[in-house]
Amino acid sequence: MKIRTLALAISMATFGLGSTVMSTAAQAQAKEQFFPVIVYRTGAYAANGTPWANGYVDYLKLVNAKGGINGVKLSFEECETGYATDRGVECYERLKGKGATVFQPLSTGITFALTEKAPVDKIPLITAGYGRSESQNGAVFTWNFPLLGTYWVGADVAIQHIGKQAGGLDKLKGKKIALVYHDSPYGKEPIPALQERAKMHGFELMLLPVAHPGVEQKATWLQIRQARPENVLLWGWGVMNSTALKEAQATGYPRDKMMGIWWAGAEPDVKDVGMGAKGYSALTLQHGAEPGSKVVKDMLAMVHAKGQGTGPKDEVGSVLYMRGLISAMLGVEGVRKAQERYGKGKVMTGEQTRWGLENLNLDQKMLDGMGFAGVMRPVQTSCLDHMGSSWVRVHQWDGAKWNFSSDWYQSDDKVLRPMVMLASGKYAEEKKLTPRTPEQCKQ
């Protein structure tokens, strides 16, 4: 009885103590540009979420090591979501009160939830390579920035590449292409773009959903074995990707006929399968694994050599690490651009950063100067185009590492632009928003 009362008393006291500890911790703030870091280092998608988070945080550390943004140092705080939407919203609410510059949730589900909140709180949302495809239209989605590419871009380029391999897009007529997708907003995003292309070229699109987290795929691959589609597109994340490759191996589906989106084309996806994944190719969001690039060398010299690296050293330069790094870079460059207008060496608000992101103009010279030579191509955003670039390459797994296997592609604006305008117009109508006019954009 004594122990029981004691334990009860302790748990009550912890609650009391906790609230005081937390209120003191919240006060420590200086004149720094605060970057909230929403991550998932635990849960079903941890293997993929961790390198991204490490790259993101490492880049912020690198900027600090180089003296900050025109002298303004960066501060950051991580919040763990476990890829759950409700925890993501909680993290957003927790970190936004600390003067958040820009949010990058790395989850399409969380992006959908935050799209409603960002305009109210005046905090921009960068979703580099994910999120809502129609949010490319900045006139309606003022606060969303799907920089570098959306899933519609991915779907469009995937079909272009398959067409090129088949010897022309007209050769796709009558063929079957299967989409194996994560059954969530993330996996469903490419469907409209693929359907549009299917209508244009007369191929048949097979839709094969896989339930979260994606370890149950026996039935899906049985269907593929029966229907024998010419190509399989893989829109998976985390453990779903390696499972799909193992199932393809088990059913004998040729891996070189499989192509993944850029979230299904990193080391954690293929490492376990090793040689079994040989020939499997995936789209890249401009960059692949870049261990030889200058920014990675800088990172190793200025951050990791001083023992400040966030993750293990050998992970630096891997695909998802680079994705996190580039995502952070885009946020930082948005702030830098905003400083040009609102005062160099000052801390930017979310609203000012938004202007910076909308007027981002990273030409090749600047990118090369930052150490992204050979990694990235120029990015230029505008009011109507919040994506800034749609350059995509394809890389292929040779059993040990990723090698680029194609030239640069760009999505076909003639196909996608009307879709973006239609979908964003529908959104504006639903939400009773008036799209910004070109005059309003200039402000």
**Cβ within 8 Å of residue 420, ≥6 positions away:** 133, 134, 136, 137, 152
Please give the sequence-ordered ranges of beta strands (E in DSSP) within 162-305, or none if there are none.
176-182, 204-210, 231-235, 258-260, 281-284
239-243: long-range contacts, CB 8 A cutoff, minimum separation 24: 239/44, 239/45, 239/47, 239/213, 239/214, 239/215, 240/182, 240/210, 240/213, 240/214, 240/215, 241/214, 241/268, 241/269, 241/270, 242/268, 242/269, 242/270, 242/271, 242/272, 242/273, 243/214, 243/215, 243/217
* Structural contact between residues 242 and 261, judged by C-beta atoms closer than 8 angstroms: no
Interatomic CA distance for residues 392 and 102, integer angstroms: 25
Single residue of 32, 73, 113, 366 touching other proteins by CB under 8 A: 113
Is residue 267 part of the contact set for other proteins (CB under 8 A)?
A: no
Is residue 378 part of the contact set for other proteins (CB under 8 A)?
A: no
Nearest Cα neighbor of 206 from 279, 222, 218, 214 is 222
Grouping H, G, I as helix, E, B as strand and the rest as coil, residue 391 is strand
Name the segment binding other proteins (CB under 8 A); options: 61-69, 112-120, 139-147, 435-443. Answer: 112-120
- In the bound state with other proteins, the residue whose beta carbon lies nearer, of 78 and 368, is 78
Interatomic CA distance for residues 77 and 83, integer angstroms: 17
Name the segment binding other proteins (CB under 8 A); options: 188-196, 321-329, 390-398, 408-416. Answer: 188-196
Is residue 93 part of the contact set for other proteins (CB under 8 A)?
A: yes
Per-residue binding string, other proteins, 382-421, x by CB under 8 A, is: ----------------------------------------
Interatomic CA distance for residues 191 and 177, integer angstroms: 12
Interatomic CA distance for residues 128 and 198, integer angstroms: 26
Single residue of 8, 12, 219, 227 touching other proteins by CB under 8 A: 8
Is residue 429 part of the contact set for other proteins (CB under 8 A)?
A: no
Is residue 215 part of the contact set for other proteins (CB under 8 A)?
A: no
Helix axes 413-430, 151-166, angle to 10 degrees: 160
Name the segment binding other proteins (CB under 8 A); options: 111-119, 244-252, 269-277, 374-382. Answer: 111-119
Single residue of 303, 329, 335, 423 touching other proteins by CB under 8 A: 423
Interatomic CA distance for residues 359 and 147, integer angstroms: 12
Single residue of 104, 184, 411, 424 touching other proteins by CB under 8 A: 184
H-helix or E-strand containing 226? helix 218-227
Interatomic CA distance for residues 98 and 94, integer angstroms: 8
Q: What is the DSSP letter of 129?
A: T
Nearest Cα neighbor of 57 from 110, 97, 115, 104 is 104
Name the segment binding other proteins (CB under 8 A); options: 113-121, 297-305, 367-375, 383-391. Answer: 113-121
Is residue 132 part of the contact set for other proteins (CB under 8 A)?
A: yes
**48-77 binders of other proteins (CB under 8 A):** 50, 53
Dihedral sign (CA 230, 236, 240, 246):
positive
Counted residue by residue, the chain has a size of 443
- In the bound state with other proteins, the residue whose beta carbon lies nearer, of 156 and 333, is 156
Single residue of 403, 431, 437, 440 touching other proteins by CB under 8 A: 431
Interatomic CA distance for residues 52 and 142, integer angstroms: 26
- In the bound state with other proteins, the residue whose beta carbon lies nearer, of 93 and 413, is 93
Give least dist CB 87 to other proteins, A.
8
Is residue 192 part of the contact set for other proteins (CB under 8 A)?
A: yes
Give least dist CB 393 to other proteins, A.
26
Is residue 434 part of the contact set for other proteins (CB under 8 A)?
A: no
Name the segment binding other proteins (CB under 8 A); options: 177-185, 251-259, 274-282, 382-390. Answer: 177-185
Is residue 6 part of the contact set for other proteins (CB under 8 A)?
A: no
Instruction: Please report where in the chains the tokens 């409603």 appear, as a residue.
Output: 116
Q: Which CA distances in Å does 320 have to 201, 245, 310?
A: 33, 19, 14
- In the bound state with other proteins, the residue whose beta carbon lies nearer, of 110 and 128, is 110
Is residue 217 part of the contact set for other proteins (CB under 8 A)?
A: no
- In the bound state with other proteins, the residue whose beta carbon lies nearer, of 366 and 433, is 433
Is residue 212 part of the contact set for other proteins (CB under 8 A)?
A: yes
Is residue 46 part of the contact set for other proteins (CB under 8 A)?
A: yes
Is residue 169 part of the contact set for other proteins (CB under 8 A)?
A: no
- Binding stretches for other proteins (CB under 8 A): 4, 7-8, 11, 14-15, 18, 21-22, 24-25, 39, 41-42, 46, 50, 53, 78-80, 82, 85-86, 89-90, 93-94, 96-97, 108-109, 112-113, 115-117, 120, 132, 183-185, 188-189, 191-192, 209, 212, 423, 430-432
